[in-house]
Chains A and B, each alone.
Chain A
Amino acid sequence: MSRFWSDGIPIEVTVDALAAPAAFAWRGRCHTVDRVVERWRVDEGWWKRRAWREYFQLVTHSGLLVLIYHDVRIGQWRLQRVYD
């Protein structure tokens, strides 16, 4: 079942040498990242509320396909989508 949070929910993330997520904690469980499918950056809306984010679409070892982003401005990680 696909779940989507428009503002994302805060999560804890550990990163690897390339500043990409290696593992994250959600709902009390720790998920390790198998591979990064795609990563991209967004930097918009500076005239109202700036959204400067680095997105990662990942597959975890637990078989989840998720979309998490790093809010560069405040240095916080958020989970935005869990794909079906």
Chain B
Amino acid sequence: MTDRGSDYIELHCHSCYSLCDGASTPVELIARAAGLGMDALALTDHDAVYGAPLFVAAARARGMHPILGAELTLADDSHLTLLVENATGWRNLCRLISMARHHAPRGRPALPPAALDDHTGGLICLTGCRQGPVAAPLRRLDMPGAVRAATWLRERFGPERTFVELQHHLHPGDAVLVRRLAELARHLGLHTVATNNVHYARRDQQPLHDLLTAIRHRTSLDDTGKRLRANSEYYLKSGGRLMPLFGAYPEALAATRAIAGRCTFTLQYGLQDLPCFPTPPGYDADGYLARLCAEALPCRYPGNPERACRQLAHELHIIARAHLSNYVLIVWDLVRYARTQGIRCQGRGSAANSLVAYLLGISPIDPLRYDLVFERFLSAERPALPDIDLDIAADRREEVIQYVFRTYGPAHAAMACTFSTFQERSALRDVARALDVTTEHLLLEGDHTPDRVRTLAATLCRQLNNLPRHLGQHNGGMVLTRAPLADRVPVEPAALPGRAVVQWDKTMLEDVGLVKIDLLGLRMLAVLSEAGRLVGDQRGEPFDLDRLTFDDPAIYQLLAAADTIGVFQVESRAQAQMLPRLRPQQFADIVVAISLIRPGPIQGDMVHPYLRRRLGQEAVAYLHPRLKPALEETLGVILFQEQVIKVARDLAGFTPGEGERLRRALGAGKGPEAIAPFRDAFLAGAARNGVAGPVAAAVFRQLEAFGGYSFPKSHAAAFAVIVYQSAWLKRYYPAAFLTALLNHQPMGFWPPAVLVRDARRHQVRVAPLDIHASGMRCVLEMDGSVRLGLNYVSGLSEAGAGRIIAARPFAGLADLCRRTRLPKGLVERLILAGACDGWGTERRRLLWELGTFHYAADELDLPIPGSTVDLPALTADEARELQMALLGVSTGDHVLARWRDALTARGYLDSLALARCPDGQRARVIGVVVVHQAPPTAKGFHFITLEDESGMINVIVRPYLVPLYRERRGGHLLKVEGIVQHEAGVVNLVATRLAPLARE
């Protein structure tokens, strides 16, 4: 008896990818099945295969057999369980799911029954749960209806692929239904199969499943009522547990094994699925790629291109062998299109290692000049797919995405999906609603909510954490296939019309081997575009930022002085601390600067030694002379991923491809067993090169310690281009740069208020909001000032701003209100922000006047002519505060500017004076808190950045002081007393006392 029980395989099983229904992850389900001694398991989520890649990977890791399928929702709301036998079945399943998703409103899939006429090949059909087309009529005692439905299915799937599904969850009526279904099956010559309609791996996860159901219906658990399953029998059960329930039908249990044996489909795709790039007649993809590169050679390498030719031949050979020419051409075409539309873009990540990418204009970096390693991007030995990701000006990324859809068609192009998951805060809201309490009750201490509820809520939140909740916004990943996409993976309509999304996210696509291209939006590229245009306007001729060579000493002076607010990547507090020590003098130093800000622990072993060597405080030493060529650029310290490859090559004779595999293994955080074979090969290779054993071992230990934390030099180099360009704009055209920065917020490290104040300190005039002068966005005025735009008035729509611009000039407040029809609240905000100051009337008076207006449906009554009122004028401080509060920016003087004399008299230093103090001196400062950081790796130290009218002050707060200063928000004045730390051009104030200033 037990033998037959132990042969049972679960064929109807939901994971958390049956969104807001299944409670267990695919990994948990596989683990539980393995624990029960099963060697196979099916995954049948609702109208989806979201979980398939994770499921297959988990099964393979345990040597289990994954069976793929789905539970489909039909147009009449009945459910059908489908299992994939072979590749044809997978294709049909993908098509059926796509159809179900497209023929119905988003989130409520419904398959038109006619679809089953043609798409059943390779699929096994189980007639479903109580809600299935056969069981439902039977429950209503509609025998003819049940027979009709079963016959209908048998006609489409055939008697060998149609199984009457039996389920028994110990509900009243289950046993009778099982009996009737079995009779029906016998009557129609169909087999039966038993399943448990699993919704969670273990019985104790039933509460989580119930919670998800309540969340799905947006009701409290009490109100969800009958929509909750009445008991906890829907967990993964062994055959032994099910035998008593199906005692009279042992063949139904045995059938699971037979079906499992027939489902032999494996999920894996290859590169050959890329669309064929249309090449000119006479050229295949390889040939065309070679031609394009050859044509670009003389331009990129005028003079002696011998080395470039050799490298090019090498790269083209590897690309052709990997069948990737199509991929490169597709990306080249995207970049070409973007550039013709004036959209800035550049490749990111490892692509900059490739000469081909450089020749085609995909990457801005010459890999020969910067000594990069192609095999970091692609090699004969590298098992993974290459990554060409494009950074595109954020405001115009959509256009490039649209181009992809237009060019390849919706049948061949779609976005990768993303999953919005339950996170702490949103989970708390959902749990509170389910438990019928308020979130405040769950958070407050000493409330009358019993502890039990709070404990229960905490447990539930923990269980919900990271489970997928719904599909989120796409993040730029695009899938392209030659065969119709819907043959490979189900496609759903996206939130935007005319757009489709596949049912796998970026990671899953990579696991499955489907090639994708990441089209990422980078706001700084949009800034460079706009600033470049403004510079061109100013000069009266077109201006091309990309013509800049990276050798202007003034730019490196700016970087070395850490005068980098607004500059890409190097404006953060951490960078400001490091740049004066680094003192960049050439492009390669910018590449290093980007790569030096690394997670805490590595600072001590990697960053500090590098900086010490750079300042001459420590001798540059190499463990072995063979390491010099690879590590010379970083003074003997391993910083770049490419260096791991080079060290392996130079010391131990690894091929670059093998070196890349080593780097991947080190970076993947796998255990020593995974690294061991690499170590053996490394030591053996080193010995063959005459390197002493202990030295080789020491080098390998270094690789192990830092290899995992190294930074891709190619990525840093591509970014360094943008750093240089933005620094150049800041140095020579700060007004244009500020204008562009302000128009693309939020971005970067600093808020607009800081950007404005920094620009003003660099002699940029910033003009306040003015209803007669401000445009939709910030603009550069004729006199070189930056005029704040109407985009800085929160709550003012583009339409509203348009009305202001179209209707001006305004004779007065009444005129403004009547002709723009803006809501009173918005006009109030405009007044308070100073936009109406041009009339010369006091703001308070204007507000009073506004209050006398009568806003009717479509008419604006004239104000009641009445007595004038004497209202006190706003002080400068009040005006500045209002502007700051309403616009987030302040164009007036800094609050401290007026009090500087009084402060100096009392012994307070400003930021400039502080910077001149010697190390160890005591000092006292006041500034506005702009940044307060408490990095988890900083061992309890906090870092505060203050700003006064002259610049920034870096304050270090030691752990013992932290509890005495509780304020975590910014924007207020802080008094700090401490000791100056002045080292290698970097000034910090180590606080001994700090106190917020009370309002005076």
Please give the residue numbers on chain A whose beta carbons come within 8 Å of chain B beta carbons, in ascending order.
18, 38-44, 46-47, 52, 54-55
**Can you name the residue of chain A whose Cβ is closest to the Cβ of B434?**
A47
Known: A40-B170, A40-B171, A43-B231. 12 other contacts (CB 8 A): A38-B173, A38-B175, A41-B171, A41-B230, A41-B233, A42-B230, A46-B206, A46-B210, A47-B221, A52-B232, A54-B170, A55-B172
Q: Is the CB of A43 within 8 A of B206?
A: yes
Contact flag A47-B456 (CB < 8 Å), given A38-B175, A40-B174:
yes
CA distance A21 to B230 in the complex (A): 22
A52 proximity list for chain B (CB < 8 A): 232
The yes or no answer to B207 lying at the interface (CB within 8 A) is yes
Q: Which residues of A contact B172 (CB under 8 A)?
A: 38, 40, 55
Residue B244 interfacial (CB < 8 Å): yes
Min CB–CB distance A78 → chain B (angstroms): 17
* B228 part of interface (Cβ distance < 8 Å): yes
Check A41 against B175 for contact (C-beta < 8 Å): no
Report Cα–Cα, A41/B172, bound state, in Å: 8
Q: Is the CB–CB distance between B230 and A44 below 8 Å?
A: yes
Output the nearest chain B residue to A53 by Cβ-Cβ distance: B231
| Assembled-state Cα–Cα distance A61/B231 (Å) | 30
- A47 with B207, Cβ < 8 A, contacts A38-B175, A39-B170, A41-B170 known: yes
What sequence of 0s and 1s flags, for each residue 159-181 of chain B, a beta carbon within 8 Å of any chain A beta carbon? 00000000001111111000000
Main secondary structure of the interface of A (DSSP, over half): strand
A47 to B210, CA, bound (A): 10
Least CB distance from A56 to B in Å reads 11
User: B173 to chain A: which residues have CB within 8 Å?
Assistant: 38
Q: How far is the CB of B425 from chain A (nearest CB, A)?
A: 21
How far in angstroms is the closest Cβ of chain A from B152? 31
CB nearest to B460 among chain A residues? A47
User: Are B435 and A47 touching (Cβ within 8 A)?
Assistant: yes
A18-B244, A38-B172, A38-B175 known; A43 and B435 CB under 8 Å? no
Alpha-carbon distance between A41 and B173 when the two chains are bound, in angstroms: 12
The 3 closest A-B pairs by CB, nearest first: A41-B170, A43-B232, A43-B231
Q: How far is the CA of A55 from the CA of B171 in the complex (A)?
A: 10
Which residues of B are found within 8 Å of A43, using beta-carbon distances? 206, 230-233
- Within the assembled complex, what's the spacing in Å between the Cα atoms of A40 and B176? 12
Contacts of A40 in B (CB 8 A): 170-172, 174, 231
Number of A-B contacts (CB under 8 A): 38
Q: Can you name the residue of chain B whose Cβ is closest to the Cβ of A19?
A: B244
For the residues of B in contact with A, the DSSP-based class is loop
A55 neighbours in B (Cβ, 8 Å): 172
Closest chain A residue, CB of each to CB of B169: A41
Measured between alpha carbons, how far is A72 from B434 in the docked complex, in Å? 25
Residues from chain A with Cβ under 8 Å of B244 in the complex: 18
Complex Cα–Cα for A55 and B174 (A) = 14
Chain A residues with CB below 8 A from B456, complex form: 47
Residue numbers of B with Cβ under 8 A of A are 169-175, 206-207, 210, 221, 228, 230-233, 244, 434-435, 456
Tell me, in angstroms, the Cα distance from A18 to B244 when the chains sit together.
9
A47, B206: Cα distance in complex, Å: 11
A44 and B222 alpha carbons, distance in the complex (Å) = 10
Alpha-carbon gap, A26 to B173, bound state (A): 28
Contacts of A47 on B, CB cut-off 8 Å?
207, 210, 221, 434-435, 456
User: Whole-angstrom distance between the alpha carbons of A54 and B228 in the complex?
Assistant: 18
The distance from the CB of A60 to the nearest CB of chain B, in whole angstroms, is 20
Q: A38-B172, A38-B175, A39-B170 are in contact. Are A44 and B231 (CB under 8 A)?
A: yes
- When C-beta atoms are compared, the residue in chain A nearest to B436 turns out to be A47
Name the residue of chain B whose CB is nearest to the CB of A46. B207
* Known contacts A18-B244, A47-B221, A47-B456, A42 near B231 by CB under 8 Å: yes
What separation, in Å, do the CA atoms of A18 and B247 have in the docked complex? 12
Complex Cα gap A18–B206 (Å): 25
Residue pairs across A and B with Cβ atoms less than 8 A apart, 5 shown, are: A38-B175, A40-B172, A41-B171, A41-B231, A47-B210
Cα distance A52–B210 in the bound complex, in angstroms: 15
Min CB gap A46→B, angstroms: 5
Chain B residues, Cβ within 8 Å of A39:
170
Assembly CA distance A42 to B228 (angstroms): 11
Contact A44/B233 with A18-B244, A38-B175 known, Cβ cut-off 8 Å: no
CB distance from A40 to the nearest CB of B (A): 5
Least CB distance, B456 to chain A, in whole angstroms: 7
Q: Does B174 lie within 8 Å of A44, measured CB to CB? A: no
With CB as the reference atom, state the residue of chain A lying closest to B172: A40
A28–chain B nearest beta-carbon distance, Å: 30
- Hey, which chain A residues are within 8 Å of B210, CB to CB? 46-47
CB closest chain-A residue, reference B456: A47
Among A39, A40, A52, the most chain B Cβ lie within 10 Å of the Cβ of A40
CA distance A82 to B908 in the complex (A): 90
Query: What residues of chain B lie closer than 8 Å to A44, measured between beta carbons?
Result: 228, 230-231
Report the minimum CB–CB distance from A8 to chain B (whole Å).
17
A54 CA / B173 CA spacing, docked (Å): 14
- Residue of B with least CB distance to A44: B230
Measured between C-beta atoms, what is the minimum distance from A19 to chain B in Å? 9
Q: Give the residues in chain A near B221, CB-CB below 8 Å.
A: 47
> Complex: how many Å from CA A47 to CA B214?
12
A57 to B258, CA, bound (A): 36
> How many angstroms between the C-alpha atoms of A21 and B315 in the bound complex?
78
Interface centre among B171, B230, B232, B456 (most CB of A within 10 A): B232
CB distance from A7 to the nearest CB of B (A): 18
Tell me the complex Cα distance, A38–B172, Å: 7
Q: How far is the CA of A54 from the CA of B232 in the complex (A)?
A: 11
Shortest distance between the CB of A81 and any CB in chain B (Å): 13
CA distance A69 to B207 in the complex (A): 22
State the CA gap A15–B681 with chains docked (Å). 67
- How far apart sit A47 and B432, CA to CA, in the bound complex (Å)? 12
Complex Cα–Cα for A76 and B228 (A): 25
Bound-complex Cα distance A46 to B228 (A)? 12
**How far in angstroms is the closest Cβ of chain B from A54?**
8
Residues of B contacting A41 in the complex (Cβ-Cβ under 8 angstroms): 169-171, 230-231, 233
User: Closest CB of chain B to A23's CB: distance in Å?
Assistant: 21
> Which A residues are CB-close (under 8 A) to B171?
40-41
| A residues less than 8 Å from B207 (CB atoms) | 46-47
Name the residue of chain B whose CB is nearest to the CB of A47.
B221
Tell me the minimal C-beta distance from B178 to chain A in angstroms. Answer: 13
- Taking CB atoms, residues of chain B closer than 8 Å to A54 are 170
The distance from the CB of B430 to the nearest CB of chain A, in whole angstroms, is 14
- Most chain B CB neighbours (cut-off 10 Å) among A41, A47, A52, A54: A47
When distances are taken between beta carbons in the complex, the residues of chain A under 8 Å from B434 are 47
| Cβ of A41 to closest chain B Cβ, rounded Å | 4
Q: How far is the CA of A11 from the CA of B434 in the complex (A)?
A: 36
* CB neighbours of B233 from chain A (8 A): 41, 43
Bound Cα distance from A40 to B174, whole angstroms: 9
CA distance A46 to B213 in the complex (A): 14
**In the complex, what distance in Å separates the CA atom of A41 from the CA atom of B231?**
6
Q: Which residue of A lies closest to B244 (CB)?
A: A18
Chain A residues whose C-beta falls within 8 Å of the C-beta of B169 in the assembled complex: 41
**B207, closest chain A residue (CB):** A46
CB of B434 to closest CB in A, whole Å: 8
Give complex CA distance A20, B170 in Å: 13
Q: B332: shortest Cβ distance to chain A, in Å?
A: 58
A42 to B169, CA, bound (A): 10
For the complex formed, measure the closest distance between the CB of A17 and the CB atoms of chain B, giving whole angstroms: 11
B204 nearest CB across to chain A (Å)? 10
Rounded to whole Å, the gap between the CB of A38 and the closest CB of chain B is: 6
For the complex formed, measure the closest distance between the CB of A69 and the CB atoms of chain B, giving whole angstroms: 12
Complex-state Cα separation, A47 to B400, whole angstroms: 51
| A38 contacts across to B, CB distance below 8 A | 172-173, 175
Chain B min CB distance to A10 (Å) = 22
* Docked CA distance A47–B169 (Å): 22
Closest to B453 in A: A47
In chain B, what residue has the closest Cβ to A55?
B172
Nearest A residue to B232, CB-CB: A43
Q: Which residues of chain A have C-beta atoms less than 8 A from B230's C-beta?
A: 41-44
Min C-beta distance of A83 to chain B, whole Å: 14
Q: Can you name the residue of chain B whose Cβ is closest to the Cβ of A40?
A: B172
